[in-house]
Each structure stands twice: as structure tokens, then as C-alpha cells.
């Protein structure tokens, strides 16, 4: 991990710091929102993960996920608790699944599709962890799974749409900066 | 920005994935409701005291003693009825099979409800203890 951090470009460090801050802010904001059902979460931080993955690759995306999960749990006081374990498992699995789909066939899915994949695997990982670590009642998990996957599909679509808009704007801004640099 | 712009750039695979996920989760919800037991229980009260708490899935016949005499309750195919009652008008027997709700036999003070009862079931060896079952027995320790 140390060597990995040293070998990382300075630019990467700035990106990771900035995007992690955004992700933590969204994660924290989300935990303040009242939800009708306790396990209903919007997964807003996934927007940042997805953008990081598409713009800067898996290394940046997974680093941001790890930083976000760890720091957000420290801030909310759930570090190393059940919520932290679920959050970590879900976050890492979701990031890796999006990267996997993206690397085997880039262009197959738009940000919306990738977000759906991320949401699905986030939920699957959490259900597995919840079963093996906490609940151990298969009928309860089976009963709740389709509901969670359904809600995940809806929130995943919303996050994907937001990611798509942000990415488009970011690319536009990037082009503008590059053009200005060229003309100077 | 109109709605179409929001979904601009989605691929065919995106749409297929979305539809598959919605379809799977919907059929999953329906399937789970059909397959899994709802955990309903039959609760039998005599004189205001719970005497029996039985799973609705298991067919059986039980009898309880009320102030007027013996009431016989049958559980079969997730339904419940009273088959024998000492009361004079036999309204409870005429009510027949119920799948949900309650049967009340006022003369014999028997109340049967079907629902998701959360309390712990009364312990069977004491469940025929006169009018109150185990809830009237004071624990004596020492």
C-alpha cells in the first residue's frame, strides 16, 4: 500500500483527496436524511465512485471507496461496527463489479447501466454479509432480497442519471480548459 | 432540461439490464410471498388469559375448559373453527372456518384470533390449567 501511494502521481493524490471529500460529504448527508424504511439508502456516494472510475480508473475509485467508508464511519461513530462492515463490503464489491463490467466490455453500458450493476452488487454483498454475520435466518434474507434489489434498481437509476449529467459537464469543462491552454 | 435528455446516451444493454432487474425483483417479491409461510399464529384465550399459541400451518385439534365447559377448536389447512362448545346459541360454531380475524364465544369466554402474535407461547404442560393456564400460576422459587 505504501509503495502504491508513493508511485501514485501527485495529480492522482489531489483527485483522490477532492473526490473522497465529496464522497464523505454525500455519505454523511445521506445518513442524516430521514428514511421511511431503515435500510433504504440512496447510495449517493456511488455517484462519486462511478465518476472516479470512469475518469481516473479503478485505483482511484477503490481508494476513494476505502477512504470514504473508513472516515465516514469514524465521523458517525460506527467504525468497526455492523454498519461499517456492511458499508465496506458493499462499497468494495460494488466498485469492483462496476470495474469488472467496464473492463470486459467498455461501452456496453452507459453510466446508468454501470450504476445499476454497482447497486445490484452492493445489495448482494450486503445481503450475504448480513446473513453470514448477523441475521442467519435464510427465510428473512430471501423475503427481503427482492424488495432491496427493486429499491436498489430505482436508486441506481437515479444515481446513474446524475453521474451521466456530471460526467458530461466535467468533460465539457475539461475540453474548454484544454482549448484555452492550447490557444495560450 | 427535459426527461429525454436525462436518459440520453443509454445503451440497449442498459435498458435490458433495467428491465431484467425490475422483472426479477417483482417476480421475486411475488414468489417469496407465495412460498414462505407468513408466520401466522392462532391464539386461544380463555377468560382473558392466553392459553394456546399455535402455528396456523400445523393441523391439530385442541380443547380448552371455560366457565361453561369444554370448547373444542380445530386447526386445518390454515383455517380455524370451533367444533364443540357448551354455549346455548352455538354462534361460535355457526361462524365456521375462519382464515383471519377472530372467533369469540362469549358464554364460554373463549377468544380465538389469527394473526402475527409476537409474545412467547404458553408452555404446553400447563396449558390446560383451569381458567387461566400458566398465567395464573405464581412462580415459587427457592
Residue A83 CA to residue A79 CA, distance in Å, equals 8
Q: In A, which residues are within 8 Å of B23 by CB distance?
A: none
The answer on pLDDT for B112 being more than 70 is: yes
Q: Among A50, A31, A26, A52, which residue's Cα sits nearest to residue A161?
A: A50
ipTM of the complex in this document? 0.84
Chain A residues within an 8 Å CB radius of B6: 161, 164-165
Q: What integer pLDDT is reported at residue B129 of this predicted model?
A: 42
Alpha helices, H only, chain A: 2-7, 10-32, 45-56, 58-76, 82-104, 111-129, 138-183
Question: Is A118 in CB contact (< 8 Å) with chain B?
Answer: no
**CA B130 and chain centroid, separation:** 24
Task: Domain ranges for chain A, please list them.
Answer: 2-183
List the single residue in B9, B17, B29 with the smallest CB-CB distance to A146: B29
Q: Which residues of B touch A169 (CB under 8 A)?
A: none
Look up residue A150 and give its three cell numbers. Answer: 427493486
Q: CB distance from A164 to chain B under 8 Å?
A: yes
**Which is nearest to B41 in space by CA: B60, B15, B13?**
B60
What is residue A89's predicted lDDT score, i.e. its pLDDT?
Answer: 94
Residues 34-63 of chain B with CB under 8 A from chain A are: 36
pLDDT tens readout for residues A53-79: 999 999 999 999 999 999 988 988 888
pLDDT digit string, tens, across residues A127-178: 999 888 887 777 778 888 898 999 999 999 999 999 999 999 888 888 888 8
CATH number, span A2-183: 1.10.1760.20
Amino acid at each position: 500500500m505504501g509503495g502504491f501511494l508513493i508511485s501514485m502521481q501527485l495529480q492522482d493524490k489531489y483527485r483522490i483527496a477532492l473526490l473522497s471529500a465529496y464522497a464523505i460529504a454525500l455519505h454523511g448527508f445521506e445518513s442524516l436524511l430521514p428514511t421511511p424504511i431503515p435500510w433504504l439508502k440512496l447510495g449517493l456516494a456511488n455517484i462519486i465512485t462511478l465518476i472516479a472510475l470512469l475518469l481516473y480508473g479503478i485505483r482511484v475509485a477503490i481508494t476513494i471507496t476505502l477512504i470514504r467508508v473508513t472516515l465516514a464511519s469514524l465521523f458517525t461513530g460506527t467504525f468497526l461496527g455492523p454498519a461499517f462492515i456492511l458499508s465496506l463490503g458493499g462499497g468494495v464489491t460494488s466498485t469492483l463489479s462496476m470495474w469488472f463490467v467496464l473492463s470486459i466490455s467498455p461501452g456496453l453500458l452507459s453510466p446508468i447501466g454501470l450504476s445499476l450493476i454497482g447497486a445490484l452488487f452492493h445489495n448482494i454483498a450486503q445481503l450475504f454479509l448480513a446473513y453470514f454475520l448477523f441475521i442467519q435466518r435464510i427465510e428473512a434474507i430471501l423475503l427481503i432480497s427482492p424488495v432491496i434489489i427493486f429499491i436498489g434498481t430505482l436508486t441506481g437509476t437515479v444515481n446513474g442519471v446524475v453521474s451521466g449529467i456530471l460526467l458530461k459537464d466535467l468533460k465539457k469543462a475539461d475540453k474548454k480548459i484544454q482549448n484555452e491552454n492550447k490557444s495560450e | 432540461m427535459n426527461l429525454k435528455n436525462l436518459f440520453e446516451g443509454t445503451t440497449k444493454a442498459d435498458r435490458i439490464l433495467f428491465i431484467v432487474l425490475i422483472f426479477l425483483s417483482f417476480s421475486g417479491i411475488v414468489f417469496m410471498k407465495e412460498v414462505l409461510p407468513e408466520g401466522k399464529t392462532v391464539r386461544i384465550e380463555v377468560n382473558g388469559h392466553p392459553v394456546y399459541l399455535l402455528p396456523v400451518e400445523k393441523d391439530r385439534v385442541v380443547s380448552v375448559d371455560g366457565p361453561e365447559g369444554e370448547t373444542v377448536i380445530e386447526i386445518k389447512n390454515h383455517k380455524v373453527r370451533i367444533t364443540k362448545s357448551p354455549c346455548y346459541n352455538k354462534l361460535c360454531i355457526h361462524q365456521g372456518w375462519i382464515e383471519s380475524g377472530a372467533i369469540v364465544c362469549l358464554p364460554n369466554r373463549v377468544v380465538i384470533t389469527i394473526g402475527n402474535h409476537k409474545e412467547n407461547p404458553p408452555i404446553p404442560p400447563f396449558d390446560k390449567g383451569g381458567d387461566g393456564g400458566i398465567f395464573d400460576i405464581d412462580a415459587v422459587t427457592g
